[in-house]
Chain A
Amino acid sequence: MQRLKEWNAAAVADVVEFRGETTVIVPRQHLLAVAEFLAGEPSLRFSFLSDLSPVDRFPLEPRFEVNYHLLSMEKRARLRLKVRLPGKDAVVHSVTPVWPTANWHEREAFDLFGIQFSGHPDLRRILMPDDWEGYPLRKDYPTEGYR
């Protein structure tokens, strides 16, 4: 945490501690740089992306949150990065260049939330059929579906 702030204080908007877990809120324009730093920095080595989970805060703005759960096997540490995205312009840079495993996670986030990942190599639906309408895990999507 300290190292991240030393490296670039502008990349850390806020830090939240809850139940022993650290969440770093990152402005979206800094996300890719932060990811590269955390994965490459020898004293941190967050080389494993466990999970990527979006949350829809509808009707609040900024509407979407994307949570990146990082794991450092060497340091036995976990860290959560959080990026907030406005509903009208839900675009964030893909982290696939840093963690190739994000490929399917981001496809799932696109499929179920409609979040766009710029620079993603193959952004198409993964769980729902290709011709599906709407994004099922959004809060304004009814549980029974539109039809």
Chain B
Amino acid sequence: MDKLDSAKTERAVVTAAEPPAAQNVMVLNMGPQHPSTHGVLRVILELDGETVLKADPVIGYLHTGIEKSCEAKTYSQVITLTDRIDYLAPLSNNLGYCLAIEKLIGIEVPKRAQYARVLLTELTRIASHLVWLGTHAIDLGAMSVFLYSFREREEIMKIFEYVSGQRMMTSYFRIGGLALQPPPGWLDRVRRVIDSLPGHIDQYEDLLTNNHIWIGRTRGIGILSADDAIAMGVSGPLLRASGVAYDVRRAFPYSSYDEFDFNVPTQTAGDCYARYLVRLAEIRESIRIVRQAMPKVPPEGPFRAEVPGVIPPAREEMKTSIEGLIYHFKIFTEGFAPPAGEVYQAIESPRGELGVFVVSDGSPKPYRVKFRTPSFVNLQSLPRLAVGQLIADVVACIGTTDIVLGEVDR
């Protein structure tokens, strides 16, 4: 209660304490077509000179009603929609949704698929952080980092394409395991990329970490305290940069994350520079996890669970056995009906806690699917970050919250 009241009075003080300045308050519309809002975010700024008095994010320009669409699809069909929520981390969304449905039905996923999932979602995290780094650096005027980080991201995209056939909208995780047998030699490709990455990360750090301009634009800008971060529901690198070591992978391990050795990097400053450091450290931790996962993924073995009537039978079985054919037909025409109930499954997406809340009424279509998307909640903290800053720093604040507007609006 105190926090909200103090926030209110703070805002009231800012406007009431300066009655002469009130005439000079300028309302500036930023976006929705602004290059540094990374999509269609609109922020209504109230300015006194160049100082931000109030920032009001306006969202919904990319609202596509994904949650409504889910209610008209079978459980398996929803997977393709999850890709499109956070288009920079489609595999994380696939994973969150599949884990929720697996929890609802009670499916045990084979270890091979679990490790492959860990490996691919960590690659997704690296790719997503690389996009963030490049676009954030270009916002603040460091053009070359953008070119480098997209070069490395492209190599990761090639792995996704090789494994699933798609660069971005992979839909590679399915309920019970993976969509396809991973192709031969995919781990060699992963190893080649992973071996080259640490050197590239060092290169970015050379360009930015001790760069005076970079530090000037980010250190002490957009400070978020740990208490505020928890009160605002902020998760992911934002929360960890404010000194709270909360990571869903560590606190509530899923998909065998408890078998991996990794650190949860934190910083205490809570400013834009701390968030930059946390994300770079996370890339290095993800590289470590991928390195551990590679020998764990067995070359042979089942890549999805066997649950007749829920998970499609192998192609061979569908063609040679009558049961396989019937199950195949039933799954692809009417779907499967999980028991009535509701589950909430959270995973650590590159942006924070991605929660999937599924309500089943016992029919083949989900009664309600809710995606608790980290971008939506993290964006809510933008006014806290931006008020009192200069207008040029609003760009840095938006950049380090790392929002994906597809995920904000769904």
Chain A residues in the interface with B (C-beta under 8 A): 18-19, 21, 23, 47-51, 53, 55-56, 67, 69, 73, 76, 78, 80, 96-101, 103-105, 108, 112, 121, 125-129, 136-137, 143
Could you tell me the distance in whole angstroms from the C-beta of A99 to the nearest C-beta in chain B?
Answer: 7
Chain A residues positioned under 8 Å from B409 (CB to CB): 127
Task: Name which of A23, A48, A55, A73 has the most chain B CB atoms within 10 A of its CB.
Answer: A48
Across the interface, A19 reaches (CB within 8 A) one of B72, B103, B357, B377, namely B103
| A127 and B3 contacting across the interface, CB-CB below 8 Å | no
Complex CA–CA separation, A99 to B323 (angstroms): 52
Range of interface residues on chain B?
35 or more
- In the complex with contacts A19-B343, A50-B346, A103-B380 CB distance below 8 A: yes
| A19 and B341 contacting across the interface, CB-CB below 8 Å | yes
Across the interface, B59 reaches (CB within 8 A) one of A19, A23, A127, namely A127
B251 within 8 A of A: yes
Q: Which residue of B lies closest to A141 (CB)?
A: B68
| B346 and A55 contacting across the interface, CB-CB below 8 Å | no
Across the interface, B8 reaches (CB within 8 A) one of A51, A104, A121, namely A121
Q: Which residue of A lies closest to B67 (CB)?
A: A137
Chain A residues positioned under 8 Å from B71 (CB to CB): 143
| B341 and A97 contacting across the interface, CB-CB below 8 Å | no
Could you tell me the distance in whole angstroms from the C-beta of B102 to the nearest C-beta in chain A?
Answer: 10
| B60 and A127 contacting across the interface, CB-CB below 8 Å | yes
- Interface 1/0 per residue, B39-74 and A, CB below 8 Å: 000000000000000000001100101011101100
Given A73-B244, A99-B233, A101-B233; 19 other pairs, CB 8 A cutoff: A19-B103, A48-B230, A50-B353, A50-B355, A51-B344, A51-B355, A51-B357, A55-B367, A69-B355, A73-B246, A97-B1, A98-B1, A100-B231, A121-B8, A127-B409, A128-B60, A137-B68, A143-B69, A143-B72
Could you tell me the distance in whole angstroms from the C-beta of A138 to the nearest C-beta in chain B?
Answer: 10
Across the interface, A55 reaches (CB within 8 A) one of B3, B246, B368, B380, namely B368
Give 8 CB contacts A-B under 8 Å. Answer: A21-B342, A50-B355, A51-B355, A53-B357, A55-B367, A55-B368, A97-B1, A112-B67
Chain B residues positioned under 8 Å from A127 (CB to CB): 59-60, 63, 409-410
Chain A residues positioned under 8 Å from B376 (CB to CB): 104, 108
Task: Name which of B65, B233, B252, B359 has the most chain A CB atoms within 10 A of its CB.
Answer: B233
Could you tell me the distance in whole angstroms from the C-beta of A60 to the nearest C-beta in chain B?
Answer: 10
Chain A residues positioned under 8 Å from B410 (CB to CB): 127
Complex CA–CA separation, A121 to B341 (angstroms): 33
Could you tell me the distance in whole angstroms from the C-beta of B235 to the nearest C-beta in chain A?
Answer: 8
Chain B residues positioned under 8 Å from A49 (CB to CB): 233
Complex CA–CA separation, A4 to B372 (angstroms): 26
B4 within 8 A of A: yes
Could you tell me the distance in whole angstroms from the C-beta of A128 to the nearest C-beta in chain B?
Answer: 6
Chain B residues positioned under 8 Å from A103 (CB to CB): 380
| B230 and A47 contacting across the interface, CB-CB below 8 Å | yes
Complex CA–CA separation, A73 to B409 (angstroms): 27
Could you tell me the distance in whole angstroms from the C-beta of B73 to the nearest C-beta in chain A?
Answer: 10
| A100 and B232 contacting across the interface, CB-CB below 8 Å | yes
| B367 and A143 contacting across the interface, CB-CB below 8 Å | no
| B377 and A104 contacting across the interface, CB-CB below 8 Å | yes
8 A Cβ contacts from B222-247 to A: 230-234, 244, 246
B78 within 8 A of A: no
Could you tell me the distance in whole angstroms from the C-beta of B172 to the nearest C-beta in chain A?
Answer: 25
Chain B residues positioned under 8 Å from A97 (CB to CB): 1, 4
| A80 and B233 contacting across the interface, CB-CB below 8 Å | no
Q: Which residue of A lies closest to B342 (CB)?
A: A18
Q: Which residue of A lies closest to B232 (CB)?
A: A101
Chain A residues positioned under 8 Å from B231 (CB to CB): 47, 99-101
